[in-house]
């Protein structure tokens, strides 16, 4: 294992919620919860102000509302978050060719591979500059951990939250890990954690005391050896620049179980079209079509069909998904549907379904797909004014939906650079009101690549977290 803390882990702070606060001046400093708002919705992200009330990610939304009834509850805008993520990942790739994204808001970077850092001092400078650049470009904050391995860098970034930088100095790793819960180690999930707890092992130091042979006896050879090495702070996992995409999929969970077979079929077609749009957006095609159905009793069925060659034709994917649906009993009700494509390639074999049927079928144009696939009831539902999403009014300009119901929609008119805006209510069919694209959080900032020794003068107003943030080492 390397001896210098040149592995960097970046974790954006409460990413979705912070992006919403940055976008909406009236929500800055207030509790914000982002996630599914239906009866079966879960929390995707909670702002730090909401976490004070005990709200956290993966919590049922109903429980979150009971804990923080006065918080702002918003539906995610994934396209918006992805655009911000691409800006952040672009900054990381300027530091090194070895960037390993884990999600939209989290990534590892090998600074030494990029020649950006070679010792603790240069690594600290690179981390500080990255935080300043992220703030300048996006208006958001991220926490940075620096260490000699991926495991320790991730632990450091967690200690740095929110809006800080922590360096784990070489030689201090064992002392740092010793009192921590076994759950801090990669590969220790709830099941392994419970197994170790029943054996009287609760901390990392207790893993070391138990010894490698006991770990192997408890967990098996591969897992036991690996976990013991991690407990000794040995982590040889490299930063991997490219992770191969194995599948592309979409799914929806329904607030009310779907019983009507025609509606189920139409939903499957709609999901197939969404999946193909995502597939094409990634420049991919695939051979295996996968259908996922979760029924009323929470039982989940997965069915798949492999084609003769890769395709990105929406008609082919729709027909394959419908064939798979024919073998699924949905009479008791369906609570979740999903369509995916795997066996990915970067080329297509056109008209596979037509070849199998012995005739040519012209693929539907993308703008025609939604008309074919989406049932009227679903299309109407998708045109509802969604809480947190962007709108534009012919007279009042840009705003976002605070809520809707009883034929009316309430909109707050503000932009990322404005003061908190005024609220107005309209009829849902008001012709002057229309959906809009999100506005950028900041203007392009020429000083984004400025020296890390100081925060750029053009830094935007603080929109989340502290202006400076912590910069510490962990002995």
| Catalytic residue numbers, as ranges | 106
Spell out the alpha helix ranges (H) of 374-436: 376-382
Distance CA 227, CA 188 (A): 8
Query: 331, exposed or middle or buried, with CB in 10 Å at 0-12, 13-18, 19+?
Result: exposed
Of the CA atoms within 13 Å of residue 297, those in its CB half-sphere come to 6
CA–CA distance from 129 to each of 94, 178, 299 (Å)? 12, 31, 49
SS3 content of the chain, % helix, strand, coil (to 5): 35, 25, 40
**Which strands sit side by side in the sheet containing 43-46, from one edge to the other?**
43-46, 32-35, 72-74
Tell me the sheet residues that pair with 434.
392
Residues counted in the chain: 475
**Region at 67 (left for phi over 0; alpha for psi -120 to 50; beta for the rest):** alpha
Beta strand 99-103 with 422-427 is unpaired
Tell me the C-alpha to C-alpha distance, in Å, between residue 120 and each of 3, 5, 123, 467: 10, 6, 5, 24
Q: Which residues contact 201 (CB under 8 A, 6 or more apart)?
A: 182, 207, 210
Beta carbons of 280 and 250 less than 8 angstroms apart = no
The side-by-side arrangement of strands in the sheet containing 408-413 is 422-427, 408-413, 397-405, 390-393, 433-435
CA distances (Å), 282 to each of 17, 78, 93, 139, 278, in order? 26, 16, 19, 27, 6
Q: Phi first, then psi: what are they for 234, rounded to 5°?
A: -90, 115
């Amino acid at each position: 294992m390397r001896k210098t803390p040149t592995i960097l882990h970046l974790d954006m702070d409460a990413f979705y919620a912070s992006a919403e606060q940055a976008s909406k001046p009236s929500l800055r400093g207030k509790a914000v919860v982002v996630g599914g708002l239906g009866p079966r919705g879960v929390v995707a992200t909670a702002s730090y102000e909401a976490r004070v009330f005990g709200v956290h990610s993966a919590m049922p939304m109903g429980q979150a509302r009971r804990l923080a009834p006065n918080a702002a509850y918003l539906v995610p805008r994934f396209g918006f978050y992805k655009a911000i993520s691409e800006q952040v990942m672009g900054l990381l790739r300027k530091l090194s060719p070895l960037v390993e994204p884990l999600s939209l808001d989290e990534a590892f970077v090998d600074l030494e591979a990029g020649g950006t850092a070679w010792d603790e001092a240069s690594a600290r400078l690179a981390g500080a500059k990255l935080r300043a650049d992220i703030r300048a470009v996006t208006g958001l904050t991220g926490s940075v951990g620096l260490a000699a391995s991926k495991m320790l860098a991730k632990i450091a970034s967690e200690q740095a939250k929110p809006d800080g930088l922590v360096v784990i100095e070489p030689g201090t790793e064992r002392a740092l890990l010793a009192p921590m819960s076994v759950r801090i180690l990669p590969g220790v999930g709830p099941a392994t954690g419970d197994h170790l707890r029943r054996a009287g092992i609760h901390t990392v130091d207790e893993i070391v005391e138990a010894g490698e042979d006991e770990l192997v006896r408890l967990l098996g050879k591969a897992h036991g050896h690996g976990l013991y090495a991690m407990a000794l702070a040995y982590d040889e996992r490299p930063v991997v620049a490219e992770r191969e995409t194995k599948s592309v999929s979409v799914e929806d969970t329904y607030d009310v179980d779907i019983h009507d077979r025609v509606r189920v079929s139409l939903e499957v077609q709609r999901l197939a079209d969404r999946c193909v749009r995502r597939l094409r957006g990634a420049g991919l095609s695939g051979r295996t079509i996968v259908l996922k159905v979760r029924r009323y009793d929470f039982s989940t069925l997965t069915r798949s069909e492999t084609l003769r060659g890769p395709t990105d034709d929406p008609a082919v994917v729709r027909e394959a998904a419908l064939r798979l649906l024919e073998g699924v009993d949905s009479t008791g009700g369906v609570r979740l549907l999903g369509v995916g494509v795997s066996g990915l390639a970067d080329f297509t074999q056109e008209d596979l379904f037509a070849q199998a049927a012995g005739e040519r079928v012209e693929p539907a144009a993308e703008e025609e797909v939604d008309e074919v696939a989406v049932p009227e009831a679903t299309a109407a539902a998708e045109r509802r004014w969604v809480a947190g999403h962007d709108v534009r009014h012919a007279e009042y300009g840009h705003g976002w939906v605070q809520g809707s119901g009883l034929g009316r929609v309430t909109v707050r008119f503000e932009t990322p650079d404005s003061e908190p805006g005024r609220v107005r209510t309209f009829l849902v069919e008001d012709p002057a009101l229309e959906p809009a694209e999100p506005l950028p959080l900041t203007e392009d900032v020429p000083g984004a690549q400025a020296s890390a020794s100081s925060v750029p003068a053009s830094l935007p107003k603080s929109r989340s977290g502290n202006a400076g943030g912590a910069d510490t080492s962990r002995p």
